[in-house]
Amino acid sequence: MGRLFGTDGVRGVANADLTAEMALGLSVAAAHVLAEAGTFKGHRPVAVVGRDPRASGEFLEAAVVAGLASAGVDVLRVGVLPTPAVAYLTGALGADLGVMLSASHNPMPDNGIKFFARGGHKLADELEDRIERTYREHASGEPWDRPTGAGVGRVKEYDEGFDKYVAHLVGVLPNRLDGLKVVIDGAHGAAARVSPEAFARAGAEVVTIATEPDGLNINDGCGSTHLEGLRAAVVEHGADLGVAHDGDADRCLAVDAAGEEVDGDQILSVLALGMKEAGTLRGNTVVATVMSNLGFKLAMEREGVELLQTAVGDRYVLEEMKRGGYSLGGEQSGHVIALDHATTGDGTLTGLMLAARVAATGRPLAELAGVMRRLPQVLINVRDVDKTRVGSSARLATAVNQAEKELGETGRVLLRSSGTEPLVRVMVEAADLEQARAVAERLADEVKSALG
């Protein structure tokens, strides 16, 4: 039986892989594990629970709330808010635990559960492992020790969360956005209300697309994984830039005034140089993952900024940031962590900071993003293979070595199993797009043959 927790919580098809019983059981297990770890010592525990607009989030939220309350935890329900909002409110309200129900950029039938520790930080791997072990023990029949009477948790709606979070976002910006026109693609997700409101309060003229969630349309042909609509809207409305979120708004991608994509690496480049100029780029360092484009690395070297690279996953970026006391990190996918203002990737904050840099400099986004040249990068997702054997296949190791020799110093190869989906990712980077594509397709075929 595989590990329930991936790199970003527990995910699966709602009501198939991720059931109400599992959501309830994991919540009870989390409460017991955190109690044993001393998190609740000396006071009555409180949890903040939020979700994205997926239809399945309604019953899963009910299960999580029931599980926590049955374990003696008081619950503040904040409703539909972004993942980083739940993290922020967990810290701002002094809660002992935060729970977010979302599958981020995954399609609507999926859902997930993500736990935050006190302060709004992601749970340590060791605590996740203990929660999973405890859940499995009790799922097999061992009864829970449950409170009764006044010991059960109480459940309250916390309607102030929206305004508190938006005020926080606007309050940390170095300057206002007056004079900018911005198109926002809310992915019909958790940022559908938050992001337009935050940009408007910061002074921008806002145009919105995909901001009418109905529970079924989240990420459907929109958001950070489908930029076509945003590209067209920015050009149509003559906007200065556009920002696109994913379903739970922990990431942000952008497009410039001509409708050209500005990815996470370019966003990090723009923010890093702005923070360096302002003296807020601690350690003169930015943290990214091994998936970052080689052009990003070359740009940071040229601009005198040190780049540290981690394994793929924003949790690993965050760990390195905390370890070294760094203030900026992120992923090519648009997860950007500004640790002075957030405990996790925050797509709305990222978009606001990017727009603030455009407003402060008076320079178009395309010019700012031009600090780095993206080298051609081809990514192929290989499905229906045994992703657990990626690191142990001698055949694949040989194929990768041959590809690396072929590419030389102007390119690179990366094979990795997805932490959130049942697939293997093949990434090839080269100075020439056709070469990158040919090598990637050849390696993808090798993965299918070796792991199929």
Classify 253 as helix, strand or coil.
strand
Q: What angle do CA 435, 270, 103 make, to 5 degrees?
A: 75
Our answer to whether residue 333 is catalytic in this structure is no
DSSP assignments along 298-346, one per residue? HHHHHTT-EEEEESSSHHHHHHHHHHHT-SEEE-TTS-EEETTT-SS--
Question: Rounded to whole angstroms, how far apart are CA atoms 371 and 75?
Answer: 46
Q: At what angle do helices 83-92 and 347-361 cross, to 10 degrees?
A: 90
Classify 364 as helix, strand or coil.
coil
Nearest by Cα to 138 from 28, 10, 23, 40: 28
Contact 194, 348 (CB under 8 A): yes
Contact 327, 337 (CB under 8 A): no
Contact 83, 116 (CB under 8 A): no
Strands 46-51 and 97-101: parallel
At 213, list the tokens.
Answer: 């969630």
At 219, list the tokens.
Answer: 């990420």
* Residue 308: Cβ-neighbour burial (10 angstroms; 0-12, 13-18, 19+): middle
Catalytic residue, chosen from 104, 195, 224, 333, is: 104
Contact 314, 331 (CB under 8 A): yes
Q: Which residues does the annotation mark as catalytic?
A: 104
